Amino acid sequence: MSTLFEKIIAREIPAKIEHEDEHCIVIHDIDPQAPVHCLVIPKKPIPRVGEATAEDQATLGHLLLTAAEVARKLQLAEGFRIVINNGKNGGEAVPHLHVHLLGGRQMEWPPG
């Protein structure tokens, strides 16, 4: 069964796309937790970062570099936060690895 993100990548579910390349897609979160809240999603389905393998190293690096590129595009020069949830207690809602890019306001610490 396809995950929500696989359906978005396949264009079965609409999303506001900010960026797309051969390795990932970046969409705006439908329940934003900051003025800017995008999700950087690999096209290769990896359930969670805790299940990534050495084979996924290039993909993981690409996700972070893409998040930084999108942050520049969205003018987050004052700062931004990158979050990766892993598992139920980590706040994971969709079992498909994704990077949250949050910005546009002062972030709090601890995050919650």
Take residue 20 and report the two structure tokens written for it: 């797309």
Residue in 37, 96, 98, 100 annotated catalytic: 98
In the residue annotation, 98 being an active-site residue is answered as yes
Q: Based on the number of CB atoms within 10 Å of its own CB, is 100 exposed (0-12), middle (13-18) or buried (19 or more)? A: buried
Q: Where would I find the beta strands (DSSP E) of 31-98?
A: 36-42, 80-83
Q: Give me the phi and psi of 64, to 5 degrees please.
A: -70, -40
Strand 99-103 and strand 36-42: the pairing is: antiparallel
Judged by DSSP in three states, 105 sits in: coil
- Cβ(45)–Cβ(6) below 8 Å: yes
Catalytic residues, by residue number, are 98
